[in-house]
Amino acid sequence: MASEATAVASEPRETDLLVKMVSIVKRFPGVLANDHVNFELRPGEVHALLGENGAGKTTLMNILYGIYYPDGGEIYVRGRRVEIRSPRDAMSLGIGMVHQHFMLVDRHTVAENIALGYAESLLNPLKEIKERLREFAEKYGLKVDPDAYIWQLSAGEQQRVEIIKALYHGADILILDEPTSVLTPQETRELFKIIKRMRDEGKGIIFITHKLDEVFEVADRVTVMRRGKVVGTLKASETTKEELARMMVGREVLFRLEKERVSRGKPVLEVENLHALNDRGLPAVRGVSFRVHEGEIFGIAGVAGNGQRELAEVVVGLRKATAGRVLIDGVDVTNKSPRFIASRGVAHIPEERLRHGIVPNLSVAENLILKDYYKEPYRRGLLLDHSKVIEDAERLINKFDIVTPSPLTPAKLLSGGNIQRLICARELHKEPRLIVAAHPTYGLDVGATEYIRRILLEQRKRGAAVLLISEDLEEVLQLSDRVGVMFNGEIVGIVRPEEASIEEIGLMMAGARRLAREEMAS
Amino acid sequence: MRVIVRKRVVVPRRFALAVRIGSVVLALLAVAVIFYAYGVNPLDVYRSIFFNAFGTKVGLTETIVRMMPLLLVSAGLALVFKTGFWNIGAEGQLLVGAMAAYVVARTFPDASSIALIPSMFLVGFAAGAAWGIPPAVLKAKLNVNDVISTLMLYYVIYWVFQHLIHGPWKARERVGQLTYGGFAHTEIISKNAWLPVIGETRIHWPTLILSILAAVGVYVFLNYTTAGYEMKVVGDNPEAARAAGISYLRTVTLAMIISGGLAGLAGVGEFAGIQHRFTPEFLSGYGFTGIITAWLGGVNPIGLLIANFLFGGLLVGGQYIMIDYKLPIGVVDMFNGAVLFFVLAGDFLLRYRIQLRR
Ligand SMILES: Nc1ncnc2c1ncn2[C@@H]1O[C@H](COP(=O)(O)OP(=O)(O)OP(=O)(O)O)[C@@H](O)[C@H]1O
Ligand SMILES: [Mg+2]
């Protein structure tokens, strides 16, 4: 059915195609994740794969990479019909994949991770690996320290390791599943350079993303999926952002939100001269002070790793402050328990969603009550009222459009973006006083991004205070009333988005400029 | 040749059951080799075990006698394992429970059964729970390894016990006018403290009722109470639990109170229902065998009943083969070890997919 749409100008001969997937079908209990999907990849092309959360992008790529076996359809690699039954098969066909959530072993070094299970020589693979790592560094600009431990690396560096791991096996078909959602703008630019260099070498790259601008920046062609089907394949040069969005969601998407004027109330969150350490015991937050008022969104901009994450964790009680105070509605909550702080009306969308946000083997419904299970109406004496839990879960699943076969499905089986929707639903459905949101739209499709941003604005209108932390500068500037720029653990400037220029903020993010106390917007 | 190990995304339920049954079968095969080496026909041995455990009336009732303490121990263990806490010391918690019952019975020899029996169970539960709490607190506060602390506490109480029955608790026996301390055992507790049994059997029914209640109880507790919900969250993602304000200390301590307490009840039953006095051979390994049946059964009353009934039968049948085939006493332990090994290996298979490639 969907095949007419994909039969776009097939100039190259069949045998020239790197990958051709024909009529792929994949079912999971309760979902048809891929419904007769056709997809092709040419050599020397970057092919973007777009689609709503749960559209089946990751599933399709997992099939190509041998993680899932399709229920129907055929796969051709370089013109030859193949059966891919494991990642090993995929690798031997020259297919590499960087997953949506990284799969590196934290406690091992870069070289060891690359060696794990894959090295050619059994005796001393590390030496050989280090040598080839140097080669990659020169050829593609993929620089990493082979002896660094994974836990010491930033998200961008970890991703480079994943890419190297794929290239290490001579992959010339590279799948990148939402590679940019965890990257800083600089890291993203680096990644694009690497991608372009690989394309120029004749490799084929499949690139999944939710950020439409990126499609125009790197992709040659783009395939849009919706509810398991391919809607169409287009040349990037012949389409527009609006058209792609419409194909994805099936309706018009607003890229600019109307931000109403809201009069600011009394302060909700007050942070005074706050200090905290990071996981390695080094100072990460160094004397930060600011206030967030009722009806205000206070954005924090900064390059990842400048203390934003630690700041958010201290505010919600997940990390100890070493000095300073945090007040919520005038009550000192410094170093109080997460539950105490949550009970003051603080909602939290955590940065590390898999680590702090969900309980993977519990059901969607059970995950939705994670913060409320001990309260009415879920708790009945010592018992948990299951029918109420399910009833409310169904309501939230509808309201926040969480794509799941049922409320009883384990949360880990949801697609990446739907896990994020689940967390947003849990945190934002009530009437919080303060919302601490770290990368709230991370991994969300355009429709859901719009929806979550709208909710944040609605909450602001209702009188909530919002502390918004995001590496997406555009998002921060668009939503915030004031923006604090963090550099090296300090707030080096507080500005109003309409008054400051991007260049000025960029300079502050890089630590090259600093506002005096009286220059800060209050 | 390369070995590739990958995590499974979904574990089908039927596959899980098949792996469990398969691991028991593999253990039977492995031990068969050893029987064979002893020059006996493994088939005969297994037939004999099966017949002696389930084929006669005495065998069946004895199987139930063994099943009761196993059920109590494994119900608690299955629950505590759900929180990701490894209680390996149920044997010690069982022993403490039994010792508490002895103290009660000895202190109030003239009290009525109606008063004595419930108090022994209550105090036994409390004692087992108390013995289970320190490892939980140590892990929560100081990150002390749970496997080691629970196991070590077993050794502590075991030697305290040995000391008591060789000294302070040693029976004063009377021959005519003479009293003297003879063998390393305690006095037999007064009949009022003996648990009632069903007919001619050794099935002390209060323990039977408690053990079935425990198997059903842990299931209800885990799935229908808020505290059970907390245990599932802590076991599955401790970090998310912390972020949601669930106290690790409270949750794991509660799980250990239940687990230790149920093991304590098993000790009370074994002492007041069967042995009635302590000898150095009081313990028979229920606390350790219960680890295996907890793995096999999970927090599921039917699963627990089946696993413990079968293992109860194995213990009974095992006794007969030692006599009938003159096999060493360790054979049954060896079988247990083999099952545990295969069950754990099977569990790994459940979670990971292993492929061999050239
Ligand atoms: N192992 C699985 N078992 C059951 N259902 C699954 C499994 N993997 C994926 N699904 C379901 O298949 C559908 C497609 O998921 P997929 O991960 O491919 O989406 P996606 O397009 O990558 O979305 P996202 O943008 O959110 O990452 C979803 O409804 C998801 O819940
Ligand atoms: Mg995905």
* Amino acid present at B243: A
Q: Yes or no: say if A100 and A178 are a contact pair by the CB < 8 Å rule.
A: yes
Closest approach of A242 to chain B, Cα-based (Å): 36
What are the pLDDT tens digits along chain A (522 aa)? 444 444 444 455 666 789 999 999 999 888 899 999 999 999 999 999 999 888 999 999 999 999 889 999 999 999 889 999 888 888 889 998 888 766 666 667 777 777 765 544 455 567 777 777 777 777 776 677 777 777 767 666 777 788 777 777 778 899 998 887 767 777 788 889 888 988 998 999 999 998 888 899 999 999 999 989 999 999 988 988 888 888 888 777 666 677 778 888 899 999 999 999 988 788 999 999 999 999 999 999 987 778 888 999 999 999 999 999 999 999 999 999 999 999 999 999 988 788 888 999 999 999 999 999 998 889 888 899 999 999 999 999 999 889 899 999 999 988 888 998 999 999 988 889 999 999 888 888 888 888 889 889 999 999 999 999 987 788 898 899 999 999 999 999 999 988 888 888 888 888 888 888 777 877
Number of the ligand 1 atom closest to the C-alpha atom of A228: 14
- Within 10 angstroms of residue B169's Cβ, the number of other Cβ atoms is 19
B236, B245, B355 ranked by CB distance to A86: nearest: B355
Nearest CA in chain A to B5: A117
What is the model's pLDDT at position A7? Answer: 44
Give nearest CA residue, ligand 1 atom 28: A54
Closest approach of A282 to chain B, Cα-based (Å): 21
Ligand 1 mutation pick, A58, A62, A180, max ligand atoms within 8 A of CB: A58
Structure tokens at A399: 């309201």
B354 interface with A at CB cutoff 8 Å: no
Q: Do residue A355 and residue B4 have CB atoms under 8 angstroms apart?
A: no
What is the model's pLDDT at position A148? Answer: 75
Ligand 1 mutation pick, A415, A446, A452, max ligand atoms within 8 A of CB: A415
Residues of chain B with Cβ-Cβ distance to A337 below 8 Å are 245
Nearest CA in chain A to B239: A356
What is the model's pLDDT at position A116? Answer: 67
Nearest CA in chain A to B2: A117
User: Phi-psi bin for A178: left (phi > 0), alpha (psi -120 to 50), beta?
Assistant: left
Closest approach of B185 to chain A, Cα-based (Å): 44
- Within 10 angstroms of residue B333's Cβ, the number of other Cβ atoms is 14
Cβ neighbors of A119 (< 8 A, separation 6 or more) are: A125, A128, A129
Closest approach of A357 to chain B, Cα-based (Å): 6
Q: Beta A19-28 vs A95-98: how paired, if at all?
A: unpaired
Residues of chain A with Cβ-Cβ distance to B5 below 8 Å are 117
Residues of chain B with Cβ-Cβ distance to A357 below 8 Å are 240, 243
Q: What is the ipTM of this complex?
A: 0.84
Residues of chain A with Cβ-Cβ distance to B250 below 8 Å are none
B4, B6, B243 ranked by CB distance to A338: nearest: B243
Q: What is the C-alpha radius of gyration for chain A, rounded to an integer number of angstroms?
A: 24
| Cα B329 to ligand 2 centre (Å) | 57
What is the model's pLDDT at position B213? Answer: 97
* Alpha-carbon separation of residue B43 from A289, B33, B36, B40, B198 (angstroms): 78, 11, 9, 9, 34
DSSP letters for A203-238:
-EEEEE-S-HHHHHHH-SEEEEEETTEEEEEEEGGG
Residues of chain A with Cβ-Cβ distance to B242 below 8 Å are 318, 338
Nearest CA in chain B to A343: B245
B4, B224, B230 ranked by CB distance to A383: nearest: B224
B8 interface with A at CB cutoff 8 Å: no
A359, A361, A384 ranked by CB distance to B225: nearest: A384
* Amino acid present at B288: F
- A196 phi and psi angles, rounded to 5 deg: -65, -40
A357, A371, A373 ranked by CB distance to B226: nearest: A373
B224, B236, B357 ranked by CB distance to A384: nearest: B224
Cβ neighbors of A308 (< 8 A, separation 6 or more) are: A300, A302, A438, A469, A486
pLDDT, one tens digit per residue, over B327-350 is 777 777 777 778 778 877 877 777
Residue whose tokens read 């019909």: A81
Ligand 1 contacts (CB < 6 A) are A 28-29, 31, 33, 51, 53-59, 100, 403, 413-418; B 9-10
What is the model's pLDDT at position A139? Answer: 73
User: How far is it, in rounded angstroms, from Cα A289 to Cα A234?
Assistant: 49
Secondary structure in 3-state letters for A359-396: CCCCEHHHHHCCCCCCCCCCEECCEECHHHHHHHHHHH
- Interface probe for B, chosen from A370, A372, A380, A389 (most Cβ of B below 10 Å), is A370
A88, A318, A383 ranked by CB distance to B243: nearest: A318
Size of interface A-B (CB pairs under 8 A): 80
| Cα A30 to ligand 1 centre (Å) | 11
Give nearest CA residue, ligand 1 atom 22: A58
Number of the ligand 1 atom closest to the C-alpha atom of A57: 21
pLDDT, one tens digit per residue, over A58-85 is 999 999 999 889 999 999 999 889 999 8
User: How far is it, in rounded angstroms, from Cα B312 to Cα B267?
Assistant: 16
Cβ neighbors of B112 (< 8 A, separation 6 or more) are: B192
Give the CA count within 13 Å in the CB-facing half-sphere of B338. 19
| Cα B16 to ligand 1 centre (Å) | 23
User: Phi-psi bin for B143: left (phi > 0), alpha (psi -120 to 50), beta?
Assistant: left
What are the pLDDT tens digits along chain B (358 aa)? 455 555 565 666 777 788 888 888 888 888 888 888 888 888 888 888 889 889 899 999 999 999 999 999 999 999 999 999 999 999 999 999 999 999 999 999 999 999 999 999 999 999 999 999 999 999 999 999 999 999 999 999 999 999 999 888 888 766 666 666 667 788 889 899 999 999 889 999 999 999 999 999 999 999 999 999 999 999 999 999 999 999 999 999 999 999 999 999 999 999 999 999 999 889 988 999 999 899 889 899 999 999 999 999 988 888 888 788 877 777 777 777 787 788 778 777 777 666 555 4
Q: Which domains does chain A have, with CATH numbers?
A: 105-171 (no CATH), 256-345+434-522 (3.40.50.300), 355-429 (no CATH)
Residue A319: alpha-carbon gap to chain centroid:
23
Give nearest CA residue, ligand 1 atom 25: A53
Decide: residue A335, CB within 10 A, 0-12 exposed, 13-18 middle, 19+ buried: middle
What is the model's pLDDT at position B149? Answer: 95
B355 interface with A at CB cutoff 8 Å: yes
| Cα A420 to ligand 2 centre (Å) | 11
Q: Which ligand is nearest to the CA of A50?
A: 1
Q: Which ligand is nearest to the CA of A177?
A: 2
- A324 phi and psi angles, rounded to 5 deg: 95, 180
Closest approach of B115 to chain A, Cα-based (Å): 29
- Interface probe for A, chosen from B224, B226, B246 (most Cβ of A below 10 Å), is B226
What is the model's pLDDT at position A1? Answer: 41
* Alpha-carbon separation of residue A253 from A237, A242, A245, A319, A384 (angstroms): 20, 7, 6, 38, 40
Q: Which ligand is nearest to the CA of A57?
A: 1
Residues of chain B with Cβ-Cβ distance to A348 below 8 Å are 243
- Within 10 angstroms of residue A141's Cβ, the number of other Cβ atoms is 12
Q: Do residue A360 and residue B355 have CB atoms under 8 angstroms apart?
A: no
Q: Do residue A384 and residue B245 have CB atoms under 8 angstroms apart?
A: no
Nearest CA in chain A to B233: A359
User: How far is it, in rounded angstroms, from Cα A203 to Cα A176?
Assistant: 13
Structure tokens at A116: 């794990």
Cβ neighbors of A245 (< 8 A, separation 6 or more) are: A212, A252, A253, A255, A446
Q: Could you say which residues from 226 to 255 on chain B have a Cβ atom under 8 Å away from some Cβ of chain A? A: 226-230, 232-233, 236-237, 239-246
- Interface probe for B, chosen from A359, A367, A413, A426 (most Cβ of B below 10 Å), is A359
Number of the ligand 1 atom closest to the C-alpha atom of A26: 12
| Cα A365 to ligand 1 centre (Å) | 18
Give nearest CA residue, ligand 1 atom 29: A54
What is the model's pLDDT at position A266? Answer: 92
What is the model's pLDDT at position B1? Answer: 45
